Amino acid sequence: MILEVKRLWFKKVTIFLEDNLPSQFELEKKYDSVTVISHKKLNLRGWKVREKDTSLVDLTVPNEEIFKKFNDTTRNEINKTLRDDLYTVYFGKNSDELYSIYCNFEKAQSRVPVVKKEMDVFTSPHIAYKGDILYGLYVIESFPYMRVRSIFSKRLMENDTEMVKRISNAGRRLFWEVFQNAKKRGFLSVDLASVNMDNPGTRSIAKFKLSFGGSIQKEYTYSYRSVAFTLFESILVPIRYFFHRFKI
C-alpha cells in the first residue's frame, strides 16, 4: 500500500510492504517525507533506518495448523466466544464510532491519535458483543501481505472485571477471524507489527501478539525528510501534542 498525504504544501508518503519501489531519486524528488516499511534490506543511501522485531503469521498452511500454533490461553478464549452467538465480527471500513474508540484508547495512553481522514484508507475489522463494539483493528492491505496498523479496544475505559475479560476474549477471536478471512482472500501472511519483550512498557502487547504463534522476523523502517520538512515537523508535533494533551 502507498499512502500519500499533504501537510500544507509538503507531500508525504508511507509505503507499506511493497515489493516494487520507485527509485530513491524519484522518491526524493517527488516527496518531502518518505517512510518505507519493509521486511527486506534496501539500499537507500543516506536514509535513516530503524530495525525491529515483528511477529509474522504464516497463512500458507491450513487453518487447523494456524490455530494449533496459538498458545493454550488464546485457543481457550477463542473457543469460549465461538460457543457464544452474541459475539459478531464485522469486516469493513472506518466509522465515526470505531474512530472514537480508537481515539479514546490512544489518549488513555498519552498518545496522539492519527486524524480520521488518514485512518479511513485502512480496513477496520471489529467485533461486538450484543451489538456493542468492544475491539477493533486498523489493517493495511498490501496484497499479498497484510499488516496490523493499530489495535484498540474499550479495555482501558472499563472497570468491570467480567467485561474486561470479555473484551480480552473478543480481541483474540477477532484476530482469528482476520487470519481466516485474509487466507480465504489469498493473502500469504499477516504482520502483527512490533514485538519488544525487553521494554516493560510494551511487554504485555508483545506477549499478546506472540500468543498467535507467529514467527519473529526483522522489519525495517527507512525514512527520508527534506530539510524544510524536518523544520516543519519539529514545530508541528509539539503543537499537536499540546492540544491533545490538554484537550484544547
In the chain, the domains with their CATH numbers are: 2-52+221-245 (no CATH), 54-217 (3.40.630.30)
Q: What is the pLDDT of residue 238?
A: 56
Query: 191 and 52 in contact (C-beta within 8 Å)?
Result: no
Nearest in space to 1 (alpha carbons), one of 143, 102, 119: 143
pLDDT at residue 69 is higher than 80: yes
Tell me the pLDDT tens digit for each residue of 235-245: 665 555 545 45
Three-state DSSP at 94 gives coil
Confidence of residue 248 (pLDDT cuts 50, 70, 90): very low
Please give the helix or strand (H or E) that residue 4 lies within, else none.
strand 2-7
Q: Is the separation of the CB atoms in 144 and 18 below 8 Å?
A: no
pTM score, whole prediction:
0.87
134-189 pLDDT, tens digit each: 999 999 999 999 999 999 999 998 889 999 999 999 999 999 999 999 999 999 99
The three-state secondary structure class of 138 is: strand
Statement: residue 232 has pLDDT above 80: no
Q: With contact defined as beta carbons under 8 Å apart, do 89 and 173 qualify?
A: yes
Torsions phi, psi for 193 (to 5 deg)? 75, -170
Mean pLDDT of 80-99: 96
Section 21-26 average pLDDT: 94
Among 31-35, 97-101, 200-204, whose mean pLDDT is lowest? 200-204
Mean pLDDT of the chain: 92
Interval 196-205: pLDDT, tens: 888 888 889 9
Q: How many CB atoms neighbour CB 246 within 10 A? A: 7
